[in-house]
Amino acid sequence: MSEKKLTLPLLDPQLLRPALWEAGKKLSLRAQLRNPVMAVVYLGSLLCSALWVQALLGHGDSPAWLTGSIAVWLWFTVLFANFAEALAEGRSKAQAASLKGLKKAAWAKKLAAPQRYGAAFSTVESSDLRKGDVVLVQAGEAIPCDGEVIEGIASVDESAITGESAPVIRESGGDFSSVTGGTRVLSDWMVVRATVNPGETFIDRMIAMVEGAKRGKTPNEVALTILLLALTLIFLLVTVTLLPFSLYSVNAAGSGEVVSLPVLLALLVCLIPTTIGGLLSAIGVAGMSRLMAANVIATSGRAVEAAGDVDVLLLDKTGTITFGNRQASALLPAAGVSQQQLAEAAWLASLADDTPEGKSLVALAAQLTRAADSGMLAALQRGDTPADSSFVPFTAQSRMSGVNVAGRQIRKGAADAIRRQVEMAGGQFSPALQQQVDSVASRGSTPLVVAEGAQALGVIELKDVVKPGIRERFAQLRQMGIRTVMITGDNRLTAAAIAAEAGVDDFLAEATPEAKLAMIRDYQKRGQLVAMTGDGTNDAPALAQADVAVAMNSGTQAAREAANMVDLDSSPTKLIEVVEIGKQMLMTRGALTTFSLANDVAKYFAIIPAAFAATYPQLNLLNVMGLSSPASALLSAVMFNALIIIALIPLALKGVRYRALGAAALLRRNLLVYGVGGLLLPFVGIKAIDLLLTLLGWV
């Protein structure tokens, strides 16, 4: 795979200048009111600036230089929070910039009735196309709209979206019929029906989400915002009451000084959770950006957050747990059936099967039979399909495929589906044949049964291999409290063998769309969040029901519309990575919240003695840091409060390192690293700033 075009350095120099400009633009009351915590800091900065002007005119209750210094650092606090958010948004906008190049105006060959290849067409601009219009796209042309291939087959370059240079095949029917506007046809031709109107395309939605224009706050983010607002109101009430308390104390003691408004403002800003308040939005935007860097597009921030909270993962066996390149390895004829007879029937039933296993079966049958002995096989091999033949495609409901030719009805499919077919035709499924099916399944291989009319001819053995390391990944998920469920169309014996080898917690065998949907609803009734992945139209109901649904970009339009995430790489294992990214975003938010609340403690020991020790000298006992003066204590605390936001921006953007830990272990680690660390670091930082200010002679 080529290098991902959407990956950016953590602190790209090209993003710093625009982020600084955006940080300044966010200094408006409307922008600040979206963040209640920083809105308080913003209003405090305005008030402190006014008090500075008053002090310059000789009417202030604190020295002008001190009031001005506090005002400057309060503004820096607001600016640094704006900068964190702007930098996160800038990274997302840079990721979206490459997508905007795909929205260039293009011409489309709009087909007239009968809307098939060879019909007359008119050339129109892509912006004039509407849902339901049918266009012809030929080699070298850009696909003008999102749509479904309804005729033809072509190789398509999707590197502009996926970052993958290798072309992909898109064809009518099946699960690889969806195409994205802006991609380019490299060879052949196809007829495409538009599935969206202009402005509603996949790329439009990608750009909107990546830029953050429609991100919106997630439920957890809203809940945390309410908590931070409550803490802010509490500290605001506490700070407001300190002024009359100070007035009373000075009058009662007959000594000391009334605490000034600039000092109270500094105390308020230092005590409210400004660190997490300033970084909260950046954490959410950065989470979306990390998801985009993994080549996954989410249609909502809620989906990313839900991914971090999922309890159950539904994973397809093929391509996710196993490599998915099942190959026909053996033909096991039933009693009274020759291997050549079974091979001939298997070959006929697989000629219209373009899957890797179907092609491998054709190759295996060709080795075991002599085409010259059968004129029909020889004709089919040359492509001379008899006029009276018709192929029966595979469906998720029937779970079998086949061919009707020259009065013969040949079917190939799952053992239970073929059993029903044989019994409905008046035949019998012998115990010996069932034993063969069970024997193949017990080895972890997939058994397919071939039947002609009412007679079961034998068993085909398909071998697949479990991916290395997948068992360890499932163990990590289990450690985090996530249950893994394997979904497969195989029978229960095969499913059980693969499930045991892979280490999943449960499996659903002989899965139908209805069975998937029922399983998801069952888990959700128990209060659990469910994540799944899919690519076909038959997966759409289950994807729509799941809390986190990842559709393959190569899948059908129905699957992509039903999902709340789209994997541009079309990798079934991406679901595990999506869950890890969601977990990381929640871990980052929790860690920085813990740090923010813990680091306020040190500021009590800095500002309280500075503000009230003149009235109550006993409070000097709280000056455990030995700060040089009240002015230095105030400035050191305010400066540290602003600078820590800048220091934590890389962590907010990159995210806390993901660890596969349970909730209890994660909480302990959080409290130890970010709780204790957040408690101790300000003592060191404030003292260091105090020493620097004293050394420079600024206080």
Catalytic residues: 316
Rounded Cα distance, 463 and 579, in Å: 30
The greatest distance separating any two alpha carbons of the chain, rounded to the nearest whole angstrom, comes to 119
Rounded Cα distance, 67 and 210, in Å: 41
Rounded Cα distance, 552 and 610, in Å: 61
Contacts of 77 (CB under 8 A, 6+ apart): 41, 45, 269, 274, 278, 638, 641, 642, 645
Place of tokens 């209890």: 664
Rounded Cα distance, 388 and 404, in Å: 8
419 DSSP β-pair partners: none
Rounded Cα distance, 271 and 344, in Å: 81
Distances (CA, A) of 611 to 263, 497, 599: 7, 71, 19
Place of tokens 């029922």: 518
Answer for the pair 486, 573: CB distance below 8 angstroms, yes or no.
Answer: no
Rounded Cα distance, 566 and 535, in Å: 10
Read off the tokens for 545. Answer: 């029901």
Helix (H, G, I), strand (E, B) or coil at 389: coil
Q: Which amino acid is at 660?
A: A
Distinct helix (H) and strand (E) counts, the chain? 25, 20
Rounded Cα distance, 167 and 146, in Å: 18
Radius of gyration of the chain, Cα coordinates, nearest whole angstrom: 33
Pairing of strands 400-405, 408-413: antiparallel
Q: Which amino acid is at 113?
A: A
**38: exposed, middle or buried (C-beta count within 10 Å: 0-12, 13-18, 19+)?**
buried
Three-state SS annotation for 290-321: HHHHCCEEECCHHHHHHHHHCCEEEEECECCC
| DSSP label at residue 142 | B
**Buried-state track 414-441, b at ≥16 Cβ within 10 A, e below 16:** bbbbbbbbbeeeebebeeebbebbbebb
Rounded to the nearest 5 percent, the helix, strand and coil shares of the chain are 55, 15, 30
Concatenate the DSSP letters of all residues of 243-257 into one string.
Answer: HHHHHHHHHHHT-S-
